[in-house]
């Protein structure tokens, strides 16, 4: 890990698998990390792997639908690493169904994890960033935050709202030199939705999203990429 980058502490949510796991793996050679998710075993396995390879990684399990656990997570991150310079709101989930069929509790749950949790995490890290006049928030949204789709009433609503939150947050904090970005990937080959996604002609790898996020974390202190829509290219084996 280079000394200059060792200064920037990154908190990655949803790091136990999928996109968040790939983001942590990509960043660990250059940045101190706090990784989180609910599954302590998976978090600790990733922490060990990355630390054995020379990283500086702390794991703090948390359920992000609990505001108390979010508060404890941010306090724990600051206690162990000194501060949070970059928050990556990646944890998220989808429950799909026609609007008249989707359960109210499921609709609420999707909003709670995909929208409320990023808001509460941002709120918890922001005062310190404002004091230091530096920081970064990266929200992993989706193409479903730009286009509605059949069965996406809850999920697309949460991601459109996350994009609106991201836009407004950037206006709130740009005077303090804090960068705010939405990343909107198309389909990614993860266990999102409950089972591993099949390889198909157009699908991103989690590492593709991690590569894009790395670009943002590396971005200079005078630039702020606003939104990235990341589409898959037709895979070589299907061309
Ligand atoms: N896969 C796609 O096609 C795709 C496309 C565009 C955008 N996205 C977005 O990318 C993000 C990551 O998705 P993914 O595909 O990597 O999904 P995934 O493989 O299902 O991983 C989701 C992550 O979120 C964590 N998580 C879920 N519920 C949580 C909770 N209540 N509290 C704390 N952590 C929780 C999970 O950890 P635990 O289960 O251990 O808590 C896991 O680490 C999401 O925001 C998703 O909307 C995905």
Q: Which residues, 6 or more positions from 86, have their beta carbon under 8 angstroms from its beta carbon?
A: 8, 9, 10, 11, 31, 135, 136, 137, 138, 217
Lowest mean pLDDT among 5-14, 122-131, 208-217: 5-14
The model's pTM: 0.97
Contact 18, 46 (CB under 8 A): no
Phi, psi torsion values for 171, nearest 5 degrees: -65, -35
Nearest-atom number in ligand 1 for the CA of 13 is 34
- Answer yes or no: 155 catalytic: yes
pLDDT in tens, 118-138: 999 999 999 999 999 999 999
pLDDT of residue 229: 98
- Averaged pLDDT, 169-176: 98
What's the CA-to-centroid distance between 75 and ligand 1, angstroms?
22
Question: Does the CA dihedral 217-223-226-229 come out positive or negative?
Answer: negative
Atom of ligand 1 nearest to the CA of 63: 32
Cα of 175 vs centre of ligand 1, distance in Å, is 31
**Ligand 1 atom at minimal distance to the Cα of residue 22:** 16
Could you give the CA distance from residue 71 to residue 2 in angstroms, rounded to a whole number?
A: 30
124: phi then psi, degrees, rounded to nearest 5: -75, -35
Which whole number is the average pLDDT over 25-40?
Answer: 98
**Of 109, 119, 155, 215, catalytic:** 155
Helices H / strands E in the chain, number of each: 7, 7
Whether the predicted pLDDT of 182 surpasses 70: yes
Mean pLDDT value of segment 101-124: 98
Average pLDDT of the segment spanning 75-83: 98
- Residue range 179-206: mean pLDDT, rounded: 92
Q: Span 216-234, mean pLDDT?
A: 97
Q: Does the pLDDT value for residue 104 go beyond 60?
A: yes
Predicted local confidence at residue 1, as pLDDT: 55
* pLDDT value for 193: 80
Q: Which pLDDT band holds residue 197 (cuts at 50, 70, 90)? A: confident
> Computed from CA positions of residues 158, 160, 166, 169, in that sequence, does the dihedral angle turn out positive or negative?
negative
- Look up residue 63 and give its two tokens: 């359920």
**Phi, psi for 180 (deg, rounded to 5):** -140, 130
Ordered domains of the chain (ranges, CATH): 5-238 (3.40.50.720)
Contacts of 191 (CB under 8 A, 6+ apart): 17, 18, 197
Q: Pick the more confident residue, 1 or 231.
A: 231
Q: Which residues contact 194 (CB under 8 A, 6 or more apart)?
A: none
Q: Other C-beta atoms within 10 Å of 78: how many?
A: 17
Give the rounded percent of residues in the chain with a pLDDT score beyond 70.
97
**What mean pLDDT is reported for the chain?**
96
Position 199 confidence tier, pLDDT thresholds 50, 70, 90: confident
Provide the pLDDT confidence category of residue 194 given band limits of 50, 70 and 90: confident
Residue 109 has pLDDT above 60, yes or no: yes
Q: Whose CA is nearest to atom 15 of ligand 1?
A: 192
| Pair 70, 62: CB distance under 8 Å | yes
């Amino acid at each position: 890990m280079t000394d200059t980058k060792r200064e920037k502490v990154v908190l990655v949510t949803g790091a136990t698998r999928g996109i968040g796991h790939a983001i942590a793996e990509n960043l660990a050679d250059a940045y101190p990390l706090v990784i989180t998710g609910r599954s302590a075993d998976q978090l600790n396995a990733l922490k060990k792997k990355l630390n054995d390879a020379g990283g500086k990684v702390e794991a703090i399990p948390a359920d992000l639908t609990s505001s108390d656990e979010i508060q404890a997570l941010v306090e724990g991150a600051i206690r162990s690493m000194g501060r949070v310079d970059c928050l990556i709101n990646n944890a998220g989930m989808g429950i799909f169904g026609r609007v008249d069929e989707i359960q109210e509790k499921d609709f609420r749950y999707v909003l709670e994890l995909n929208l409320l949790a990023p808001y509460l995490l941002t709120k918890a890290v922001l005062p310190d960033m404002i004091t230091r006049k530096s920081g970064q928030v990266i929200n992993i949204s989706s193409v479903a935050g730009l286009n509605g789709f059949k069965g996406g009433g809850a999920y697309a609503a949460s991601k459109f709202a996350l994009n609106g939150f991201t836009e407004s947050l950037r206006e709130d904090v740009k005077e303090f030199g804090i960068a705010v970005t939405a990343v909107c990937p198309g389909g990614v080959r993860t266990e999102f939705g409950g089972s591993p996604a099949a390889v198909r002609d157009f699908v991103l790898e989690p590492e593709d999203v991690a590569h894009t996020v790395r670009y943002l974390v590396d971005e200079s202190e005078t630039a702020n990429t606003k939104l990235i829509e990341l589409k898959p290219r037709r895979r070589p084996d299907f061309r």
